[in-house]
Amino acid sequence: MEGVKTRLPATIAKVLLAAAIVLPHAAQAGGEENARAAHSVGWFRRHFGRLTWEEIVNCSESPRDVAAFVGRQVRYEQDEGDEWSDGRTVMERGYGDCEDYAAAVVELCREKGFDARFLVFFDAEHQAGHAVAAGEWRGRMWVSSNGAFAQVRSFEEIRRVVARELGVRPPAVVQIPESAVRALRVAEKTR
């Protein structure tokens, strides 16, 4: 038990030292208002607790942050059929499948002013589809699939990410046009 007592103050000292180094830089990078809002939530809760929609918007400084929050707060659960939910509903209930993750990431990013779009891909041979969030941030493309985040160099690389998720070869995966996706979402909401 003696070893635990001696390590605990060292661990606390390391955390305090890291906070002293990181927090001033966060205030400069995100502006005083964002830094104040992010710090009002608290480090532990930001990384291990459930945040409200507004807290996620205030704490996020990039699409990567948004995807990380969604990935931590939403548990993957396949729904019966294809029930399309809006991002707030997904975050409140805490579970969803690929289109729910994508909706939450896209809507949070857009509220924050980040470029984000909802993409749906389909593999006709296996009758499987997959939705992701994608956009551009500081001149680099990104994709978020089920809460995971990756920077990519091209649309073709997004297709490869989706093909991996579906367990198929990339040529089999085609994107469903955005107008068709909108029609699907509207039809789902009217059921």
Q: What is the pLDDT of residue 84?
A: 82
Q: Is the pLDDT of residue 34 over 50?
A: no
Q: Give the model confidence (pLDDT) of 48-80 as tens digits.
A: 778 899 999 999 999 999 999 999 999 999 877
Q: What is the pLDDT of residue 100?
A: 95
CATH assignment of 42-190? 3.10.620
Mean pLDDT over all residues of the chain? 80
Residue appearing with tokens 């532990």: 44
Whole-Å CA distances, 59 to 24, 50, 65, 122, 166: 15, 13, 8, 34, 32
pLDDT band at 188 (very low <50, low <70, confident <90, very high): low
Q: Name which residue leads in pLDDT, 180 or 184.
A: 180
Give mean pLDDT, residues 74-88: 86
CA dihedral 49, 50, 54, 58 (to 10 degrees): 20
Residue 62 DSSP label: S
Helix axes 63-73 and 98-112, enclosed angle (nearest 10): 140
For residue 83, the surrounding DSSP H or E stretch is none
Percent of residues, the chain, with pLDDT higher than 90: 50
Give mean pLDDT, residues 25-42: 51
Pull the structure tokens for residue 119. 């993409």
**Bridge partners of 140?**
137
Q: What is the pLDDT of residue 144?
A: 97
Burial 113-122 (b: 16+ CB within 10 A, else e): ebebebbbbb
Q: Give the model confidence (pLDDT) of 133-171 as tens digits.
A: 999 999 999 999 998 999 999 999 999 999 998 999 888
Model confidence, pTM? 0.73
